């Protein structure tokens, strides 16, 4: 199996190291936000809320989700 090694010069590149180590957390957070927006758009409900969202909120969720997908596509990032 191929392996890839990334090296950092510490302490100068400690911020870059932290970003690389936490990349999976960022991906998980963005994926969770996308799912939250999808539920609000599709079902009209938000997490931990049993009441229906007003129609303008659903439209706002859809707009924000579309923008999130545009930003990810511009950076060639996929949530799949």
**How far apart are the C-alpha atoms of 26 and 5, rounded to whole Å?**
21
Whether this prediction's pTM lies above 0.75 is answered by: no
- Coil vs helix vs strand at 75: coil
pLDDT in tens, 6-58: 999 999 999 999 999 999 999 999 999 999 888 888 877 665 554 566 778 88
**What are the backbone dihedrals phi and psi of residue 34, each rounded to the nearest 5 degrees, phi first?**
-60, -45
Higher pLDDT among residues 78 and 45, named by residue: 78
**How far apart are the C-alpha atoms of 64 and 58, rounded to whole Å?**
10
The answer to whether the bond into 11 is cis (omega within 30° of 0) is yes
């Amino acid at each position: 199996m191929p392996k890839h090694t990334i090296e950092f010069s510490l302490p100068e590149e400690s911020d870059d190291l932290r970003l690389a180590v936490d990349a999976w957390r960022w991906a998980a957070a963005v994926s969770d936000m996308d799912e939250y927006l999808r539920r609000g758009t599709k079902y009209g409900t938000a997490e931990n809320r049993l009441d229906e969202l007003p129609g303008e909120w659903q439209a706002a969720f859809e707009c924000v989700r579309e923008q999130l997908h545009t930003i990810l596509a511009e950076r060639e990032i996929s949530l799949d």
